[in-house]
Structure 1
Amino acid sequence: NYYLPKGISLIELPALNYLMIDGKGAPTSPAFQEAIQYLYAIAYMISMSYRNPDFIIENFQPFVVPPLEGLWTSKNEPRAGKLDKNDFIWRLMIRMPDFVDSEIVEKAKKLVESKKGFDLSKVK
């Protein structure tokens, strides 16, 4: 119903939890690649928390990390019918289960930062 509707209709969706990071540049840029790495590192830290005695999540339910989603725009108009990918403004997102709250995300970020040395301050 959400992805291949037969007609136009207004639907209400429930609030959903996402890990998110915003950035600028082409999908081939280092910033874009790092953003993907950061999101997946946090998502997998949460999904595998049941194996980590230092990261106990109350009401944890096993889940498969969903695929990456993205929103794209550009402040510039296409030139000669082409859009410069370096002008992209993007938001990358990975959906999280309902039991994942901001406290869990912050704990996962700290664990990933200490383990991998990443600066995850831009991840929401």
Structure 2
Amino acid sequence: MKYEWRKREKSLYMTTGIQMLKIPKMKFITIAGEGNPNTAQFTHQIEALYGLSYAIRMKYKTGYYEDPFIYTVYPLEGVWTSKEKPIDGVVDKEGLVYQIMIRQPDTFNAERFDEIVEETYAKKIIRL
């Protein structure tokens, strides 16, 4: 049976209104950076996160790590701030600082991450 976070984790991902939540420890693939998100570099960072996340999902789906585990890839999340205080409510996009991320299954670990990065990178290099 497919694990669908949209249905099983509504209290974390489908909240309404302002709430105080206790967030459990979770695993994420993250990329930190700064600057305008309307650039090719930022687009490539998002593509890398999704590429790795879908590669991980396929490993779980085929039972490569353990018994097959089918799940929906988690949503893209991000934390944003700026280097300087906005002037008259206008934020300078070049001064944005961010950490973007996609959550991964609890059983995912650093060793598996290194393997996925190597495989995914090799596939991308071959296509170029």
- TM-score bracket, shorter-length normalisation: 0.7 to 0.9
Q: Which residue of 2 aligns with 1:47?
A: 57
Distance 2:91 2:22 in 1: 33
1:12-91 correspondence runs (5 A): 12-49=22-59, 56-91=64-99
Residue number among 114, 117, 120 corresponding to 1:109 in the alignment: 117
Kindly provide the amino acid, as one letter, of the partner of residue 67 in structure 1. Answer: P
CA RMSD of aligned residues (A): 2.2
Q: Which has the higher helix share?
A: 2
Q: How many residues align?
A: 113
TM-score (norm 1): 0.78
Distance 1:86 1:80 in 2: 16
- How far is the alpha carbon of 1:112 from its aligned partner? 0.6
Structure 2 unaligned residues grouped into runs of 5+: 1-10
1:73-102 C-alpha deviation (Å, 9 max, x unpaired):
011121233111111100011011112111
1:12-69 C-alpha deviation (Å, 9 max, x unpaired):
32210111000111221122111101101100111112577xx921245111111100
Structure 1 unaligned residues grouped into runs of 5+: 118-124
Distance 2:90 2:52 in 1: 35
Percent identity between matched residues is 31
Runs (4 or more) in structure 1 with deviation over 2 Å come to 1-7
Distance 1:61 1:93 in 2: 21
- Kindly tell me: are residues 78 and 6 of structure 1, through their superposed partners in 2, closer, same or farther at Cα, counting changes over 3 Å? closer
TM-score (norm 2): 0.76
Distance 1:17 1:102 in 2: 10
